Structure 1
Amino acid sequence: MTVQVLSADPEVKQGPDKLLSSRHLVVTRLVIPKGEAIQRHRSLMTVTVVSIKGQVEFHTDDDVTTLVPGKAVVMQPGEFHWLEAPAEDGEVMVVHGVLAQ
């Protein structure tokens, strides 16, 4: 088994910092400055969003979850969602993956 170490780009101060991209797995650090938002979208893969810094609001069409470090959400493929950082800068790690059946 080979271990792959992924490192964030410290130059990325806003938006996506793609750490890994393959057909079945995408890992992205997402930086959202205070007052900014990531527009409504959806993924064809299962999405896991893990807060790593600050406070980020994770929205679906039916709910809002405030993410702080140590809190995460997992959503099924095809669900619309968006993120915003209304109170402070935030960072999340986003994992899009095709889960084994």
Structure 2
Amino acid sequence: MKVLTPDTTVSEGPDRMLSERHLSIVRLVLPKGKTIKRHRSLMTVTVVAIKGSIQFHTDDDVTTLVPGKAVVMQPGEFHWLEAPDEAGEVMVVHGVLAQ
């Protein structure tokens, strides 16, 4: 078992909690007014809101992530995030899922 603890000194951007070949876990802190540019991952991506409110965009949709709400994307799906109204934090898990 691994116990992961956030770096509480990170007040903006990524807090890389785990980085392995087929699995990455990142706590992402997004201050009000900030945006993470459009990008994609070669792995399945799960994003879980843990604090505040973040707008999560894909090319076809937008959803507001609030604590407890999550999205799951397939590899290669473009997405971006913004915090237009208030700061927010999400946990981002990139992984290769077992078939």
Regarding TM over 0.5, the answer is: yes
Distance in 1 (CA, whole Å) between partners of 2:35 and 2:88 is 10
Distance in 2 (CA, whole Å) between partners of 1:70 and 1:24 is 24
Q: Which runs of 5+ in 1 are unaligned?
A: none
Counterpart secondary structure, 1:95: strand
Q: 2:7 aligns with which of 6, 9, 12?
A: 9
Cα offset, 1:63, TM superposition: 0.3
Q: Which AA in structure 1 matches 2:53? A: Q
Structure 1 residue ranges (4+ consecutive) displaced by more than 2 angstroms after TM superposition:
none
Q: Residue in 2 aligned with 1:81?
A: 79
TM-score, length-scaled by structure 2: 0.99
RMSD across aligned positions (CA): 0.3
Cα offset, 1:82, TM superposition: 0.3
Q: Residue in 1 aligned with 2:89?
A: 91
What is the identity percentage for the equivalent residue pairs of Structure 1 and Structure 2? 76
- What are the residue-to-residue correspondences of 1:52-91 with 2, within 5 Å? 52-91=50-89
TM-score, length-scaled by structure 1: 0.97
Q: Residue in 1 aligned with 2:30?
A: 32
Q: How many residues are treated as equivalent by the alignment?
A: 99
Q: Which AA in structure 2 matches 1:5? A: V
Q: Which runs of 5+ in 2 are unaligned?
A: none
Cα offset, 1:85, TM superposition: 0.4
Distance in 1 (CA, whole Å) between partners of 2:46 and 2:64 is 14
